[in-house]
Structures are given as C-alpha cells and as structure tokens.
Structure 1
Amino acid sequence: MEVIAKKSFGQNFLINKKIQKLIVEAAEVKDEDVIEIGPGLGAITNLIINEVKTLDAYELDKEIFSLWIEKKLPQNINFINQDFLESNLAFDSKRVVVGNIPYNITSPIIFKLIENHHFIKRATIMVQKEVGERLIAIIGTKSYSKLSVSIQSVAKVSKVLVAKSSDFSPAPKVDSMVVKIEFFENLDFNLDNFLLFIKKCFQFKRKKLINNLLSDYDKDTIIKIFNDLNINLLVRPENISIAEYKQLFLEFSKIIKNS
C-alpha cells in the first residue's frame, strides 16, 4: 500500500539510508527504553526495532499507525496512535528519544522534552536546519535565542549532521539538522520559573535586556543587580551567557515582582 505524505502532519519521509544509519548510531539505542516520535514508514524504526529494550512509537497518522499494528511486532514494541505532545512521560526509568520532528510542531516538542528532562536520558532528533542552529547557538550569534538558552541550561547539545532537502520524500523547501541533546542529571534551579524568566528576557530580542525586565521589576533594582553582577546596562539578550542568565535568575528570584 502506497502512503502519500500528508501536509497537515508535516510529513517528509527520510529516504537517505546513510543518514538513517548515522542517526541510529548517534542515538545509542541498544538495550535502552526508547521513545520514537513519528516513526512514519520506518526509516529509523526498522533499524532499531531489534536493538532496543522497549520501544514506544508515537504515530498520529491513523493510516500509518494501522500499517504498523497489522505487522507481527515483538511484545516489547508498542505503537501509540496519539499526539506526542499529549503523552505522559512520567516513566519509572529514563528514556532515550529519537525522531524526525515535524517542522510545524518543533518548538512545542522541544519544550516538552525540556520540561520532562528528568525522565529523558538523551534525545537525537531531526529538525529544520534553522531550528537546529538555534539549539546549538552560542552567545553573541544571530541564532542565539530563548530556545538556545532554555535547552542549553538543561542539556549538552551538539550537531550530528545536516540533511539536504533531497534526502526526503517529498522534499521539503529547507534543509534539516540532526542534533543530539544529552540531559544533565540534576539542576540547581527551579526550571519552570527559569523558563518564564528567559521568556521575559527574550520578549523583545532587539531591545536592551533591562527594558524587557522593566514590566516586572523596579528600574533601580534592575540596575543594582546588573552592577553587582558586572553586567553592562546596555546589553541585549543575545549577549548574555547562560551562566549569567542563571545568576540573573537567582538574584531576581529574591525580588518581589511589580504588581
């Protein structure tokens, strides 16, 4: 049965076999409890199905899901016809995540991984190249953003490879990047509040950081904290390091916000 990629699901099937193998190598799934996001026609699934300890594969497309459950799969392989964004990741043991992420829901999926970091050992995912550049971006670069600071505060992020649009069917309009996200064991800050703080800091990226904070904090208080931490009062959000953001968050957490 021929399956036609559905635009509504953001489907682009990976057809480059060399890249498929490189993704599996990077993911390190052998004897691991694995989650696959969007298995599709099995470009990755077929390579890992006999390697994993367990596999929970989230496939939202009912047509593709039906094709999988018609197969005789081992008992440790579980296909779930559900939106990954609605899934419960509260597992007893940490999972390894792999997936070719639909472009239209990339950010929500990444933030779901961030928010559930304590249930995830690592994630190897294919994303739009532009998003991948933001995930690995360093301070002072054009791609350095809220996403960069958020993910790099909870994980080590590295580029695995870049995939051309011709490596997919149908070919998307842009290239893709595979990134490997290795989550830290423990965090020494409140993640939920930190993410809200970073969102505020990057609310207007081209504005000075101090201006983004004025709606929540008194100007004199902001100036004092910046001076205490030797941070330039004219600095913009993209020129603050992750370590400095953590310091700022710690100091502002002690302050009562403006009503």
Structure 2
Amino acid sequence: MGVLRWGLRVRRHIGGHDNEVKSVSWSQSGSLLATCSRDKAVWIWEVQPGNEHECVAVLQGHTQDVKMVQWHPVLNVLVSVSYDNTIRVWADDGDDDWHCVQTLAEAGNGGHSSTVWSVSFNQKGDRMVTCSDDCTLKIWDTSADLSQPTTGEGHESWRHLSTLSGHHGRTIFSAHWSSEDVIASGAGDDAICLYAEEKSTTVEGPLYRLILKKEKAHDMDVNCVRWCPQDPRVLASASDDGTVKLWELRGNLLD
C-alpha cells in the first residue's frame, strides 16, 4: 500500500496591506474573505471565478492595529477588534457599500478600556464575547433580525450584557464560544478559564459564571483557545511555550 503524502501549494497571492496581516476570516458562505493588519485597515475580498479575489472594500475607522476580524455565523456582518480599545461592526447597505454600523467602546457602550484581542460568536449569532488587555471578557447581545443576511440594517443594535472580571491576572488573548454555550478564555497568566450562563436571570438580564479555571495550563502565555466544532467538549490551546494541548471537558459542569 502506498504512503499518502500531503502537501500545500499556493493557489493565490493576495496583497494590499502595508504592514503585518494579523487575522483572516472566511464568511459562512465562503464567498467573502476578510483580512486585517497593523496598518489599521480591514480589507474585504470577494471570491471570483477562476480563483480570483476582488477587493470590494477597504474599511478605515480604527486608529490603531486591528488584531482580529470575525464574520458573523449567519449574516454577512463583520466584526473587528483593535489596539485602539474598540470593537467595530461592519455591514453593507445591500449595494456592496460597506461601512461601520456600530462602534463599541468604553465610553457610552460599556466596552473595553484597553486593547481588544479577540472576538467570538455563539452558534445562533445573537451574542458575542470579546476579551482584552484590561483582563476582562465582555458579553454582547443583539436584537438584530438574523433572517436578513445581506443588509446591515438593524445590525447596529449590539449592547453590553455582562462583564467577566477577576478570573485572569494578565492580558486575555483569546476567547471562543462552543456550540454547547461554554466560553473558553486563554491569557498571559498561563491559565485557561471556562464560563457558562446562569440558569437564573436578574433584572439586568442573564449572568455568566466561572465554571472551571485550569491554572498553569501551559508554562507560558496561552495565545489561543478553540473548541472543536465536531466535538464541543474538546478544546485546543496554543502557547508561547511551543506546545499545543488538547483538553477534554468531563462531567456535567453546567448543572
């Protein structure tokens, strides 16, 4: 039996940014690709026949490095987070004219007070989590109509729902929402934390609580955490210590 050999070949070089490209994200349909950079810009590319990629928008608005871009799981709505402490929501007006429909910041929105490193949506797409150099995670909720995939109308309705603080002692670099509604975070304190929504709600709305903290999950900073889409109880983590670890969530921690 022959040995199956794997390889990668470059299909296409896509240029445009003037500095380090920090993040890339495909839309749910695979027809749009978003990139962001230290040049403070977000670019949106549309996949064309013949493996061509046409730039359909260069989004300016952030005043510092853009750390991450993430497409909404249902809509053609893009979220970017930045060194300028803000979260920006981008959408088109139905005529491929992309613009910022909402900026979430500390003043007025209950946003972060320092660099925002990561953003992740829940499976339904009506909530997202962000994490920051301010050592907090923030949960955001939207009342937007998720049945309207091609218009930005109504998608400026994200509001602050909850702040999770006191669980990490250093910068939180990564947060990821599982399909079972467990949020994982990884930070510069070498720890991984897991959070879930309380079954009871207050007048202000639902609350989230820490359900597990793994101290010294790595020997150095935890840079990224990601839940497996096929098995939502398997978590991968990546660290400055040069290792990737796979974790299994055991027990019924959500009771």
> Bigger radius of gyration, 1 or 2?
1
Structure with the higher fraction of residues in strand conformation: 2
Task: Please say whether Structure 1 and Structure 2 have the same fold, judged by a TM-score greater than 0.5.
Answer: no
Q: TM-score range by the shorter chain?
A: under 0.3
Structure with the higher fraction of residues in helix conformation: 1
Q: TM-score, normalised by structure 2?
A: 0.28
